[in-house]
């Protein structure tokens, strides 16, 4: 399995999202590999983060398929950079999230090239900032979405080889609260307590969680004040929203704006920043039909699942592209030094993608 040598090469290149030089080094290696298959590379230059890559194949009449991955990992330099393997598993940063998935799509394209001699209407997008929310690349993805009919994202598979047909939407927000400082002993009543205002807003925010409907609102950071002897003049709240439906998104956003606009402590003021990073990815008739088509093509059962985590699949789905995720290998321990991926699942996913690509190249559609 020579593709595992390729995996080792890129896994041992640190590509922490903020390590621009490392992310770009991994991207350049994919330039070499994909250009050898006939792809033309478009580089989206960035000054502070890694450069995104779009690889275009030959374009003929018919529908178009986009394969999506990300180049970055969550591990800073000199933390977790080792690669190893045993009989059943490979271990290292990104082996399942998601350098392993990138290798799956690469190897499947190589087998397609070797067996069919041509790759048409199957493009590849590799972004550099997925692990920090795709705050830059989401605009690239959104601008490209209208060009494609189908999108396959190579995040890790489920434990049973599950294909991901749905993901929660996610938004991250901050509230800045302004009060008025005063001496806590001599002029307590002259102050406007921003910390108290923040605590009241926190209590109202967490009430918006509705576990029955899959909605969570987590206040991850709350801070403020300048000292125990001073009424707090400022406070800060950062919270995350995750949701399973547009209705829940709109309900919570309306309530958040009301909470921000309400002064529970007279005289305090608050401003809201942030927003929805990736909207909800909902299973659709078209995406479920695509799973059934892939089952027929591959002559195997493909279980499906929905996940609470988000990916770039959310972006393409939100723009009307028929999108499936979880096409990479199965693994676990992602975002930890125990990250690993199953060797068997690599071969299974490569074989699946190869068959799917062959069908698409012949029919220019699913």
Domain spanning 3-167+281-363: which CATH class is it, in words? alpha beta
In the chain, % of residues over pLDDT 70: 100
**Residue 128 confidence (pLDDT) above 90:** yes
pLDDT band at 314 (very low <50, low <70, confident <90, very high): very high
Annotated domain spans of the chain: 3-167+281-363, 169-278
Give the confidence band of 54 by pLDDT, cuts at 50, 70, 90: very high
Q: Give the tokens for residue 115.
A: 């067996």
pLDDT for 17 equals 97
Q: Give the DSSP letter of residue 307.
A: E
From the number of C-beta atoms within 10 Å of its C-beta (0-12, 13-18, 19+), residue 136 rates as: middle
- Band (172; pLDDT cuts 50, 70, 90): very high
DSSP-assigned states of every residue in 98-142: THHHHHHHHHHHHHHHHHHS--BSEEEEEES-GGGT-TTHHHHHH
First to last CA, the chain: 29
For residue 71, what are the CA distances in angstroms to 126, 133, 141, 211, 337? 6, 13, 15, 33, 18
CA–CA separation, 122 vs 59, rounded Å? 8
Q: Per this entry, what is the length of the chain?
A: 366
What is the rounded average pLDDT for all residues in the chain?
96
pLDDT given for residue 117 in this prediction: 82
- pLDDT at position 1 is 64
SS3 (DSSP) at 356: helix
Residue in this structure with the two tokens 């390729």, named with its chain if needed:
6
The contacts of residue 282 (CB under 8 Å, 6+ apart) are 166, 245, 317
Instruction: Kindly indicate the confidence band of residue 173, based on its pLDDT and cuts at 50, 70 and 90.
Output: very high
Does the domain at 169-278 match CATH 3.90.1150.10? Answer given as: no
pLDDT tens digit sequence for 149-160: 999 999 999 999
pLDDT, mean of residues 251-279 = 97
Given this chain, do its domains 3-167+281-363 and 169-278 carry the same CATH topology? no
Distance CA 309, CA 166 (A): 10
If you ran DSSP here, which 8-state letter would residue 364 be given? S
**Could you tell me the pLDDT band of residue 289, with boundaries at 50, 70 and 90?**
very high
Q: What is the mean pLDDT of residues 181-203?
A: 97
- Strand-pairing partners, residue 341, are 90, 331
Mean per-residue pLDDT, 168-174? 97
What pLDDT is stored for residue 116 in this prediction?
A: 78
Whether the per-residue pLDDT at 144 is higher than 90: the answer is yes
User: In this predicted model, what pLDDT tens digit does every residue of 76-124 receive, in sequence order?
Assistant: 999 999 999 999 999 999 999 999 999 999 999 999 999 878 899 999 9
- How does DSSP assign 33-100, residue by residue? HHHTTT-EEEEE--SSSPPEEEEE-B--SS--EEEEEE--BS--TTTS---EE-SSEEESTTTTTTHH
For residue 204, pLDDT over 90 is answered with: yes
Q: With 90 as the cut, is the pLDDT of residue 261 above it?
A: yes
Q: What distance in Å separates the CA atoms of residue 3 and residue 363, rounded to the nearest whole number?
A: 28
Average pLDDT, integer, range 324-332: 97
Residue 94 near residue 339, CB atoms below 8 Å: yes
If residue 5 lies in a helix (H) or strand (E), which one and from where to where?
A: helix 3-11
Model confidence pLDDT, tens digit, residues 225-241: 999 999 999 999 999 99
341: tokens are 């991926």
């Amino acid at each position: 399995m020579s593709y595992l040598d390729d995996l080792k090469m890129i896994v041992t290149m640190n590509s922490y999202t903020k390590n621009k030089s490392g992310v770009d080094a991994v991207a350049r290696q994919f330039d070499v590999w994909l250009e050898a298959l006939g792809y033309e590379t478009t580089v989206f230059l960035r000054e502070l983060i890694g450069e995104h890559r779009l690889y275009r194949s030959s374009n003929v009449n018919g529908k178009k398929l986009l394969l999506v991955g990300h180049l970055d990992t969550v591990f800073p330099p000199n933390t977790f950079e080792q690669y190893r393997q045993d009989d059943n598993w490979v271990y290292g940063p990104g082996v399942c999230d998601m350098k392993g998935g990138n290798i799956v799509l690469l190897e499947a394209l190589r087998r397609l090239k070797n067996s069919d001699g041509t790759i048409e209407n199957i493009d590849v997008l590799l972004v550099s900032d997925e692990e920090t929310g795709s705050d830059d690349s989401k605009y690239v993805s959104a601008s490209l979405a209208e060009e494609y009919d189908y999108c396959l994202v190579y995040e890790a598979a489920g434990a049973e080889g599950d294909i991901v047909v749905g993901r929660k939407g996610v938004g991250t927000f901050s509230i800045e609260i302004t009060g008025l400082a005063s001496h806590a002993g001599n002029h307590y009543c002259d102050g406007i307590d921003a910390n108290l205002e923040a605590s009241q807003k926190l209590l109202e925010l967490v009430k918006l969680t509705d576990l029955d409907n899959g909605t969570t609102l987590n206040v991850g950071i709350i801070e403020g004040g300048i000292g125990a002897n001073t009424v707090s003049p400022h406070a800060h709240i950062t919270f995350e929203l995750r949701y399973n439906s547009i209705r829940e998104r709109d309900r919570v956003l309306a309530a958040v704006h009301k909470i921000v606009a309400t002064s529970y402590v007279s005289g305090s003021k608050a401003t809201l920043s942030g927003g929805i990073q990736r909207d909800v990815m909902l299973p659709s008739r078209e995406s479920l039909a695509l799973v059934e088509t892939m089952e027929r093509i591959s002559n195997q059962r493909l279980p499906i699942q929905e996940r609470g985590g988000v990916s770039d699949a959310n972006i393409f789905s939100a723009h009307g592209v028929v999108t499936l995720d979880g096409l990479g290998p199965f693994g676990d321990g992602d975002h930890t030094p125990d990250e690993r991926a199953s060797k068997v699942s690599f071969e299974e996913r490569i074989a699946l993608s190869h068959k799917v690509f062959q069908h698409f190249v012949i029919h220019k559609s699913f």
